[in-house]
Structure 1
Amino acid sequence: MGKGGAVSEGVLKKILLSYSYVAIWIFLSFTVIVYNKYILDQKLYNWPFPISLTMIHMSFCASLATVIIKVFKLVEPVSMSRDLYLSSVVPIGALYSLSLWLSNSAYIYLSVSFIQMLKALMPVAVYSIGVLFKKESFKGDTMLNMLSISFGVAIAAYGEAKFDTWGVLLQLGAVAFEATRLVMIQILLTSKGIQLNPITSLYYIAPCCLVFLFVPWIFVEYPLLRDTSSFHFDFVIFGTNSFCAFALNLAVFLLVGKTSALTMNVAGVVKDWLLIAFSWSIIKDTVTPINLFGYGLAFLGVAYYNHSKLQALKAKEAQKKAAQVDEEEGKLLEQREGEGIGEKRDQA
């Protein structure tokens, strides 16, 4: 009884910890999205400079990561040659900067709820780009699933009360660049045995983002900021906003490291529904029945995709365990055969 009770307590503790990681990630992701919307929206804080906001985030995150690695030495940097940095990290940094720039820009034109609906296209983009770069195998049933998600998002877009073409293009561009970045991480880093945690990722990638964002910032936003003499840098607003962005990176690592990437995908769906409800009830964004119907279809498609990924992962793990068992049995058989030969020699 005591032994069984201990096992039950251990399982319960593990479940509670997993839910805690999910809750922390949802809270921080929710906070960063709403906070960015508050800063960028012309009807709220009215600071419509997405490139500048992204650069502030990257400056803060890069500085904090450098202090953690170089000053306090809490995290070991990854051994990386100059050629590897230029060929692998720099392209990923460029894609990340474009993704952040475009996604933050979309908040100026679109509601929080509609942006979350458009983000449902992320599995479609990741799978399509994965097939293009031969990291995913083309399957008819998976492509049909992708088309059902796209169809649901199209219906949600059709029902959007405040549809803005430019905002939609910005968000779709952000999804495309982010999906490409995720695939490139697999090709350029993971395949070479390089694993970056959130601190080392920010340490290496955030400076690249700053460099790539500086060029459009000089031509697009700097002239406007220079002419806006009434603007003063609010350290409380931008400091807390940047800290939330940094904490979100840590929460992603905590969630994926302690549970799985699939858990994060499922948690993302829960977060999206919460954001849609918040956007409708608190921010008073218009959410139409057609919006919800279309997103509901997309949600079912994403749920099926996650389920398929889970089944494939279980099958892969089962196959791996079976291979290990076969290998152990083979070694045991060889050992017994060796012992048998030894015994015969002794008898001779």
Structure 2
Amino acid sequence: MTEAPRWLIPFYMALNFTTSVLIIWANKIAFNAGFNFTVSLTTLHFTFTFVGLEIGSRYGLFDKKALSIISVVPISLAFCGFVVFNNLSLQYNAVGIYQLLKVLTTPTIIVLQHTLYKQVLPFWQIISLVPVCVGVALATVTSIEVNFWGLVFGGAGIISTSLYQIWVKKEQESLQCTSPQLLYYQSAVSGVMLCCLVPFMEPLVTDKDGNPGLLLFDFTPWVTFWILTSAALAFLVNLSIFLVIGKTSPISYNVLGHGKLTCILLTGYLVFGQEATWKNITGVIMTLIGIFWYTHLKLQAASEPKQSKSPHQQNKLVNKDGAHKEARELTERDHSNVSTEAGSPLANDEEPGGSSDEDTQMLIAHHRGEGGISPHGGPGREE
């Protein structure tokens, strides 16, 4: 299997960054028009994602791979848990504690990867994540008001979010499929699951304040346009999430998400004149330092295997060649003069080859902090 060009990873990250920012603005316009049904919006996001991938496969952009529905149920459940529990966390928690809990996703992923898969992050990469997490907390967390159910739902949201991002990577490896192939099935299964949850999570006729529910909502051409725009962007956001995590790691995607949040905050400060305290500025600077440090360490680690790859491969080939020669000698004992020189073809044997709504929730939390739209959560996701 040929190695993907190195420029693809920055391209996937840029695609995720751009579409995530655009979907935030599309969602903001829809929310300001009164469409606060984010579970329904998330269901529509995955419907568009599934349809987009189906069209893409028919035009030869990727080949569909037959996967068992059962095999994608865990990752689909993790995503639904992500949506539901983060919705509840946003409703039961103040914005400050909600943002703080979201920051804890990064260390939770590190712990879960070690606990479940014995995967250990290098020490200095862990240290570089400290200013990232502390910086985001300083830049976004305002007041902290803790309550029991808020912590329960927030904790469940952290676990489900972390598992979802980990499994996006692990399922591609275990099922031996590409990002579009896995997302094709996961978008369909998650979409059906979320559709079943809509009646329990959102008002269908009227809410407790007498406002029109989903079925009675006035879908004007203006709000309908932005809902459909959000859904179309969600296709690119969801696909880019799978591509970024598939080519890098869940931690790298988290760092990218913190970078997106930092840029959004800076845009608000510099372009839209939002008030920034020294705490906010210090947090942004710390986050940027941590992101650059982490990126440097990842690039450094990526170059090391290439330097040591050749001796390792030679060692591997020598051992393999010796095993082949031993088997050959056992099966051809009668031919004592069998040649086992390095020119044998055996010496060259090779081994056989082998999510949009997180941004929505961040937007809602931001509006709650401004006293704007009513709380409702729903990855775009980013992080």
Flag whether TM exceeds 0.5 (same fold).
Answer: yes
Which consecutive residues of structure 2, in runs of 5 or more, have no partner in the other structure?
326-338, 345-383
**In the alignment, what sits opposite 1:197?**
179
Aligned amino acid, residue 174 of structure 2? K
- Kept in 1, the 8 Å contact 2:94–2:145? The answer is no
Count of residue correspondences? 314
Distance 2:12 2:342 in 1: 54
Answering whether residue 234 of structure 2 is matched by residue 245 of structure 1, we say: yes
Which shifted more, 240-249 or 119-128? 119-128
Shift of 1:52: 1.3
- Check 1:101–1:80 CA distance in 2 against 1; reply closer, same or farther (3 A cut): same
Aligned amino acid, residue 65 of structure 2? V
Shift of 1:324: 1.5
Q: What is the TM-score with the length of structure 1 in the denominator?
A: 0.68
**In the alignment, what sits opposite 1:177?**
160
- Check 1:326–1:104 CA distance in 2 against 1; reply closer, same or farther (3 A cut): same
**In the alignment, what sits opposite 1:220?**
201
Aligned amino acid, residue 235 of structure 2? F
Answering whether residue 42 of structure 2 is matched by residue 61 of structure 1, we say: no
Look up the SS of the partner of 2:340 in the other structure. helix
- Check 1:148–1:56 CA distance in 2 against 1; reply closer, same or farther (3 A cut): same
Distance 1:309 1:17 in 2: 16
- Kept in 2, the 8 Å contact 1:21–1:255? The answer is yes
Distance 2:317 2:242 in 1: 34
Aligned amino acid, residue 193 of structure 2? F
- Check 1:248–1:104 CA distance in 2 against 1; reply closer, same or farther (3 A cut): farther
Answering whether residue 78 of structure 2 is matched by residue 76 of structure 1, we say: no
- Check 1:341–1:120 CA distance in 2 against 1; reply closer, same or farther (3 A cut): closer
Shift of 1:153: 4.1
- 2:188 aligned to 207, 231, 234, which one? 207
Distance 1:331 1:153 in 2: 50
Shift of 1:93: 0.7
Distance 2:169 2:6 in 1: 29
**In the alignment, what sits opposite 1:35?**
26
RMSD of aligned C-alpha atoms? 4.5
- Kept in 2, the 8 Å contact 1:48–1:108? The answer is no
- 1:97 aligned to 77, 80, 88, which one? 80
Look up the SS of the partner of 2:117 in the other structure. coil
- Check 1:328–1:121 CA distance in 2 against 1; reply closer, same or farther (3 A cut): same
Look up the SS of the partner of 1:33 in the other structure. helix
- Check 1:151–1:230 CA distance in 2 against 1; reply closer, same or farther (3 A cut): closer
Which consecutive residues of structure 1, in runs of 5 or more, have no partner in the other structure?
1-13, 343-348
Look up the SS of the partner of 1:223 in the other structure. coil
- 2:311 aligned to 305, 309, 322, which one? 322
- Kept in 1, the 8 Å contact 2:259–2:291? The answer is no
Q: Deviations over 1:222-263 (max 9, x none)?
A: 335584435226431111111111122344566678x85698
1:265-284 equivalence runs, <5 A: 268=257, 270-281=259-270
Distance 2:72 2:50 in 1: 14
Shift of 1:53: 1.1
Answering whether residue 112 of structure 2 is matched by residue 123 of structure 1, we say: no
Which shifted more, 226-235 or 208-217? 226-235
- Kept in 2, the 8 Å contact 1:124–1:149? The answer is no
Look up the SS of the partner of 1:222 in the other structure. coil
Distance 2:284 2:259 in 1: 13
Look up the SS of the partner of 2:191 in the other structure. helix
- 1:49 aligned to 37, 43, 55, which one? 37
Shift of 1:130: 0.8
Distance 2:48 2:304 in 1: 42
Aligned amino acid, residue 137 of structure 1? V
**In the alignment, what sits opposite 1:132?**
115
1:292-303 equivalence runs, <5 A: 292-303=281-292
- 1:232 aligned to 207, 216, 219, which one? 219
Distance 1:246 1:219 in 2: 25
Q: Deviations over 1:312-347 (max 9, x none)?
A: 333334333321233457789999x835999xxxxx
Percent of matched pairs sharing the same residue: 21
- Check 1:329–1:244 CA distance in 2 against 1; reply closer, same or farther (3 A cut): same
Distance 1:308 1:269 in 2: 17
- Kept in 2, the 8 Å contact 1:118–1:153? The answer is no
- Check 1:313–1:61 CA distance in 2 against 1; reply closer, same or farther (3 A cut): same
